[in-house]
Amino acid sequence: MTTLLDRAVALMDEAGLLQGGFAHAESGMHFLRFDAPSPQQATIYRPLLCLVLQGAKQVSAGAHSLTVAAGQSLLVSHALPVVSRISHATPKTPYVALVFPLDLDVLRGLAPAVPPAPGTRGRDPFSITLCPTDPAMQDALIRYLDQCANHETRQLLAPITLEEIHARLLLGPQTAALQKLLRHETTASRIFQATREIQSDLSRTIVVREVADRVGMSTSAFFEHFKAVTGTSPLQYQKDLRLLHARDTLHSSSVKVSQIAFSVGYESSAQFSREYARKFGLSPRQDRAALAVE
């Protein structure tokens, strides 16, 4: 029987990708393959399901750190600035992973049919959940990829299987995290609203008290729950997003460093360069020069 690992490797081979990331347009999924451990990389995880099919990866957000190994899945329920690195990969057994972006509208439509998850009150509110990969989920993902390969089945069957995949998440071990996110007026949904507001305009300096008011929480409760869900404080969350967005712009354009700094809310180019170097290990100019050499 074809496994999900076989299918992922075949798709990357067909695309001519020996190493790196591959966006599969027909399914909306992303596939990753690396044949050696990697240095730490800072990026943003948006709501997604990541299946590690081979190898292992370490992921850190704030004070939280975990290792995802072959046969395990990572569910992310909020947009999070994370630092990650591939910890186990060789040319013979490369790191291979599949990333399935979550459609929150689909989850919201399915959630009312799912009974409330028991025992959620004492669970860790952190927005990354690690669990064993369900074989039935792998089967659904293979069928979804098969259906996306053909125009007719992509139009008629793939949307049904897409719903099934989201339904399996709501019925599986990740259901508590997703239900807390989707139910209106829960703490997780309020923090999600706050993270969306912070992401919407990175150039604007946030006032924690005002954001807390808008999501209907006291300042102290908001700060405590924000850190529990995202692993970091609201101000640090915004700073991490600013620096990651700035790095994307730096790598994809020739815009001056000072202009990039001001566009993400820094009033001082010198401060921007210091904080950039602290996070990425290189100043903005050094980082751009290193990319050009590569």
- Most confident segment among 36-50, 120-134, 154-168: 154-168
- Residue 121, pLDDT above cutoff 80: no
Domain-wise residue ranges, the chain: 4-111+125-179, 182-229, 236-293
Query: Is 94 buried (19+), middle (13-18) or exposed (0-12) by CB count in 10 A?
Result: buried
pLDDT in tens, 224-235: 999 988 989 999
- Residue 122, pLDDT above cutoff 90: no
pLDDT in tens, 37-67: 998 888 888 899 999 999 999 999 878 899 9
Q: How far apart are CA 232 and CA 80, in angstroms?
A: 9
Tokens coding 158: 């793939």
Q: How far apart are CA 214 and CA 236, in angstroms?
A: 19
CATH of domain 4-111+125-179: 2.60.120.10
Residues above pLDDT 70, as percent of the chain: 95
Tokens coding 159: 């949307």
Q: Is this structure's pTM higher than 0.85? A: no
pLDDT confidence band for 195 (50 / 70 / 90): very high
Which amino acid makes up residue 293? V
CATH topology of domain 236-293: Arc Repressor Mutant, subunit A (1.10.10)
pLDDT value of residue 38: 92
For 251, other C-beta atoms within 10 Å of its C-beta total 11
Please tell me if the domain spanning 4-111+125-179 has the same topology as the one spanning 236-293. no
- Most confident segment among 38-47, 93-102, 128-137: 93-102
DSSP state of 215: T
- Residue 180, pLDDT above cutoff 80: no
